[in-house]
């Protein structure tokens, strides 16, 4: 508590509706509007936006921004490595792995004996496609709460992948289409499929190619990947194709023989969401910490104060209070869950930017009507799904 004598946390990082701001250091972290200097935790579009003056981030995050927005996405850029510290007007900022996606970082900001860690999005479970989450002791921990409700306990991802591979064995004549967010989730799903011993080529929707190639070029082994666009329908029986979730219900999916549709997302834990997504094989795989992971991480940081962002803030804030921790929700407008922006809901979502290069060939009603009478369903495992007791605030992108 010694830091209280020297500096209040709010004097070091001021929460604003467009992100946390360090006035002394002259920067924002993951700002949702253009600013002079931005420190970016990772490449997802709600955290990494175009139009800032100067951007400080890991090489991978900068590359992902370049892939998405083009060369001139910022006035200038500066690369920082994990464990490296920069000093900005006397304030130090150090980047540490967040275990969320390739290049994702927590940013530890320190000044006059007060250390605040802005963790961005994170998960505390192993992921073959990125560096593991590193625990950074701090006075104030800024945590996400995308899955900040006790119902969210993510199952073993290997068991979810086993369901997919079982279905492929069960229905060798059918194509398997797996909806997964383009940045991070798709590559993790592919890596998990490889880890399970699947050696066949895996096919990619056009929107998946640049980032998957990028992961490969950075040493993440995804095995043999092929563009699906060159394939004949008849040759796609028994194959696995990764696509943006939105493509599952587009005319695009008609090129596949009697497809089994799967969707890899933490939201598949919620029975209503799994049903709403209209997929036959919900796979509960998330790149965010679940309720147990959030709580364990909060305790392990040793922080006496917790700031909670995007998601189910209230439950986690309440839980912190019961532990004697000072906690507050941050009302930052514009953070979402990356899966959320891509949810194949009949109501649609505002996001899905550039997710589907091959979108727009047919009307929504056409595509959704084909799901009214789905083909013979595989044994849909719903055991890992639960009902959500009530709607949390903020995260319902389609609302
Ligand atoms: Zn993210
Ligand atoms: Zn996020």
Summary mean pLDDT of the chain: 87
Q: How far is the CA of 352 from the centre of ligand 1 (A)?
A: 14
User: What's the pLDDT at 363?
Assistant: 27
Whether residue 394 is predicted with pLDDT greater than 80 in this model: the reply is no
The ligand that comes nearest to the alpha carbon of residue 147 is 2
pLDDT above 50 (res 166): yes
What residues does the ion ligand 1 have nearby, CB within 5 Å?
A: 44, 121
In this structure, which ligand is nearest to the CA of 184? 1
Question: What is the CA angle 216-217-218, rounded to 5?
Answer: 90
Q: What are the C-alpha distances in Å from 225 to residues 182, 183, 191, 205, 241?
A: 14, 16, 11, 11, 10
Q: How far is the CA of 145 from the centre of ligand 2 (A)?
A: 9
89 backbone dihedrals φ, ψ, rounded to 5°: 50, 40
Distance, CA 341 to ligand 2 centroid (Å)? Answer: 11
CA 186 – ligand 1 centroid, Å? 13
Q: How far is the CA of 44 from the centre of ligand 1 (A)?
A: 5
Q: Ligand 1 mean position to 376 CA, how many Å? A: 35
Lowest-confidence region among 204-213, 250-259, 369-378: 369-378
What is the predicted pLDDT for the residue at 340?
55
Please give the pLDDT value at position 399.
25
Contact by Cβ (8 Å): 277, 263 = yes
The tens digit of pLDDT for each residue in 269-307 reads 998 888 888 899 999 999 999 999 999 999 999 999 999
182 CA distance to ligand 2 centroid (A)?
14
Q: What distance in angstroms lies between residue 352's CA and the mean position of ligand 2's atoms?
A: 15
pLDDT cut 90: percent of the chain above it: 78
Between these two residues, 194 and 374, which has the higher pLDDT value? Answer: 194
Question: Ligand 1 centre and the CA of 9: distance in Å?
Answer: 24
Cα 123 to middle of ligand 1, angstroms: 10
Output the CA 264–ligand 1 centroid distance in Å.
Answer: 15
How far apart CA 30 and CA 161 sit, in angstroms, is: 32
Question: What is the pLDDT averaged over residues 359-369?
Answer: 28
Distance 75 CA to ligand 1 centre (A): 23
Distance 302 CA to ligand 1 centre (A): 24
C-beta separation of 136 from 161 below 8 A: no
Give the per-residue pLDDT at 211. Answer: 97
Q: What are phi and psi of 390, to 5 degrees?
A: -155, 165
Tell me how far apart the alpha carbons of residues 202 and 198 are, in angstroms, rounded to a whole number: 9
CA–centroid distance, 51 to ligand 2, in Å, is: 19
Residue-level pLDDT at 6: 67
Q: Among 118-122, 246-250, 381-385, whose mean pLDDT is lowest?
A: 381-385
pTM, two decimals, is: 0.86
**Percent of the chain whose predicted confidence (pLDDT) is above 70:** 83
At 179-192, the pLDDT tens digits run 999 999 999 999 99
Q: Could you tell me if 104 and 41 are in contact, meaning their C-beta atoms sit under 8 angstroms apart? A: yes
Distances (CA, A) of 241 to 204, 205, 227: 5, 7, 9
How high is the pLDDT of residue 374?
34
Of 72-76, 145-149, 227-231, 392-396, give the lowest mean pLDDT range: 392-396
CA of 336 to the centre of ligand 2 (A): 5
Ligand nearest to the CA of 46: 2
Q: Which ligand is nearest to the CA of 181?
A: 1
Task: Give pLDDT, residue 361.
Answer: 27
- Is pLDDT of 74 > 60? yes
Pick the more confident residue, 85 or 351: 85
Closest to 22 measured CA to CA, from 10, 40, 34: 10
The alpha carbon of 338 and the centre of ligand 1 are apart by a number of angstroms equal to 6
Q: CB-hemisphere CA count at 13 Å for 224?
A: 7
Tell me, what's the pLDDT at 216? 98
């Amino acid at each position: 508590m010694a830091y209280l004598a020297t500096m209040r946390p709010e004097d070091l990082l001021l929460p604003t509706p467009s992100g946390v701001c360090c006035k002394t250091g002259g920067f924002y972290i993951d700002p949702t509007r253009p600013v002079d200097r931005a420190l970016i935790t990772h490449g997802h579009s709600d955290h990494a936006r175009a139009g800032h003056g100067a951007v400080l981030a890991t090489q991978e995050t900068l590359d992902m921004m370049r892939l998405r927005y083009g060369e001139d996405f910022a006035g200038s850029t500066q690369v920082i490595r994990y464990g490296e510290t920069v000093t900005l007007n006397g304030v130090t900022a150090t980047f540490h792995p967040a275990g969320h996606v390739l290049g994702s970082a927590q940013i530890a900001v320190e000044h006059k004996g007060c250390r605040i860690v802005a963790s961005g999005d994170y998960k505390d479970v192993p992921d073959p496609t990125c560096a593991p989450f590193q625990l950074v002791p701090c006075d104030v921990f800024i945590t996400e709460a995308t899955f900040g409700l006790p119902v969210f306990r993510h199952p073993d991802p290997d068991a979810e992948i086993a369901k997919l591979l079982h279905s492929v064995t069960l229905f060798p004549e059918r194509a398997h289409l797996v909806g997964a967010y383009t940045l991070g989730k798709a590559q993790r799903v592919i890596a998990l499929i490889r880890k399970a011993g699947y050696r066949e080529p895996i096919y990619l929707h056009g929107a998946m190619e640049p980032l998957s190639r990028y992961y490969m070029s950075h040493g993440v082994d995804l095995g043999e990947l092929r563009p699906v666009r060159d394939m004949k329908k008849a040759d796609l029986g028994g194959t696995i194709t990764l696509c943006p979730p939105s493509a599952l219900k587009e005319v695009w999916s008609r090129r596949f023989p009697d497809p089994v549709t799967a969707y890899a997302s933490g939201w598949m834990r919620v029975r209503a969401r799994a049903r709403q997504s209209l997929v036959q094989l919900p796979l509960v795989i998330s790149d965010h910490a679940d309720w147990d992971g959030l709580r364990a991480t909060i305790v392990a940081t040793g922080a006496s104060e917790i700031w909670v962002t995007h998601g189910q803030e209230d439950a986690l804030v309440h839980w912190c209070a019961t532990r004697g921790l000072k906690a507050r929700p941050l009302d930052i407008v514009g953070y979402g869950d990356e899966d959320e922006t891509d949810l194949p809901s009949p109501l649609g979502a505002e996001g899905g930017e550039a997710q589907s290069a091959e979108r727009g060939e047919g009307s929504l009603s056409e595509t959704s009507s084909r799901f009214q009478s789905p083909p013979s369903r595989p044994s849909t495992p719903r055991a890992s799904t639960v009902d959500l007791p009530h709607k949390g605030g903020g995260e319902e992108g389609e609302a």
